[in-house]
Structure 1
């Protein structure tokens, strides 16, 4: 079987030089077109322009209670998911045993003396 390798020519691969955006640079000629350099924003972009003044300060006690409630809900949901997965696996194991025609599939729990 023939190996399928792409034929690479010297025109396909170019190393691009990246310059910081803070200094304006002249347009660069590449091939048939002119590439204009990107200009930097006059001021740094941050989220301060989206902030609004609050009428009342944060209620940290309420926030902590909400976080604790969310954590408890997540833990309970995870525990229910694990219990459900174990129960389904046990039922599947019992069903496989019955479908094989065995008669000793039921689990008998014995008290520990």
Structure 2
């Protein structure tokens, strides 16, 4: 049996030359001197003024809220994983045809 391959001609293949960019300025920033672009990349505009006092109370409250949220999210994740594992055990027990799969809590005397 012959394998069917498409007929390939030389017109379908073309090698393109890689031309590195030689422009002094990136596109979109034409006409801007380099010192203005340097200022645009400087992060000092995001710094706080030294005269403004830090609000440590607000920062600590925000940190405590973030910590409480992380702990709650972790606890919910652990509870969910344990619930899924317990459900899987019960489902495996039922699928094996056993009849004593349900847990019966015994009173502590």
| TM over 0.5, shorter chain | yes
What's the TM-score once normalised by structure 1's chain length?
0.54
- Among 63, 68, 83, the alignment partner of 1:67 is 63
1:86 Cα deviation after fit? 0.3
List runs of 5+ in structure 2 lacking aligned partners.
1-41
Alignment equivalent of 1:89, drawn from 81, 85, 89: 85
Q: Does 1:110 align with 2:106?
A: yes
- More relative contact order, 1 or 2 (CA 8 Å, 6+ apart): 1
Residues 26-73 of structure 1: CA distance to partner in whole angstroms, max 9, x if unpaired? Answer: xxxxxxxxxxxxxxxxxxxxxxx6334526322010000000000000
How many angstroms apart in 1 are the aligned matches of 2:83 and 2:99?
21
Describe the shift of the 1:60–1:112 C-alpha distance in structure 2 as closer, same or farther (beyond 3 A).
same
Would you tell me which structure has more strand in proportion to its own residues? Answer: 1
Matches within 5 A, 1:1-113: 50-51=43-44, 52-54=47-49, 56-113=52-109
Unpaired segments of 5 or more residues in structure 1? 1-48
